[in-house]
Amino acid sequence: MESTESSYVSSPEGLRNRSPPPQPKSPDSDHVEKSTYVRFLVSNAAAGSVIGKGGSTITEFQSKSGARIQLSRSHEFFPGTSDRIIMISGTIDDVLKALELILAKLLSELNVDDGDDAEPRTKVRLIVPNSSCGSIIGKGGSTIKSFIEDSQAGIKISPQDNNYYGLNDRLVTLTGTLDEQMRAFELILPKLAEDPHYSQNIHAPFSYAGLSFSN
């Protein structure tokens, strides 16, 4: 099996030249400094847009955010889809910055010409380990309900897909405007970062090639 690391990744420490002077730590600073990651699906065309000519866009986004951005290869899709996977890793704050840059870029390229000035509501599909979905759902669905109310985004967690042996991930779909989606990310990411099982997947973000289809 080919290496799952994207050849487009560029994360030299020199890119992080936007860091402010050190500030005294607070509980909130621990929140944003905790390392985490997020994975979500994009079409092949959208992946090309994120990479940019000669990798220019992904390099720019890494420089601006401080996060590391990786993509699955052009033939590596999430099972049951024809979508590639983007993984963003870094502190929660850096991951959120990179997410907003990417989603704003993709939103700007949508052909919306229906005469409606309202901001379009789009969908983002996150990949979340099955074992970590409980932290988003909460007891009796209390957490996900509060996230929906706070963000005004639609948040839907897919059922476990039993069509593929060994697939332990589910899709979490966020539907809304860019602001609504970003608020949902701000609520969801810290919850996932607190889950010790969630961090285990950071070392094999695109490892779906060995899965077999179950009839």
Name the more confident of 131 and 7. 131
Mean pLDDT rounded to a whole number for the chain? 82
Residue 14: what pLDDT?
37
The CATH classification of domain 34-111+120-200, taken from the options 3.30.450.20, 3.40.640.10, 3.30.310.210, 3.20.20.140: 3.30.310.210
Instruction: Name the token pair of 189.
Output: 């990411």
Nearest CA-CA partner of 67 in 86, 94, 92? 94
**pLDDT for position 114:** 54
115 φ, ψ (degrees, to nearest 5): 80, 0
Range in 57-61, 85-89, 114-118 with the lowest mean pLDDT = 114-118
- pLDDT tens for 172-215 read 999 999 999 999 999 999 999 999 888 877 766 666 655 444 44
pLDDT at 27 over 50: no
Mean pLDDT within 86-92:
96
Model pLDDT for residues 30-55, shown as the tens digit of each residue: 555 778 999 999 999 999 999 999 99
pLDDT at 65: 98
Banded model confidence at residue 165, pLDDT cuts 50, 70, 90: low
Instruction: Return the ∠ at Cα 39 (arms to 131 and 98), rounded to 5°.
Output: 135
pLDDT at res. 212: 46
Query: Is residue 112's pLDDT more than 90?
Result: no
CB 44 within 8 A of CB 74: yes
* Distance between CA atoms of residues 60 and 46, nearest Å: 16
Using CA of residue 7, residue 125, residue 61, residue 55, what is the dihedral sign? Answer: positive
Strand-pair category, 212-213 with 164-165:
antiparallel
Higher pLDDT, 161 or 16: 161
Q: What is the pLDDT of residue 101?
A: 98
Q: Where do the domains of the chain lie?
A: 34-111+120-200
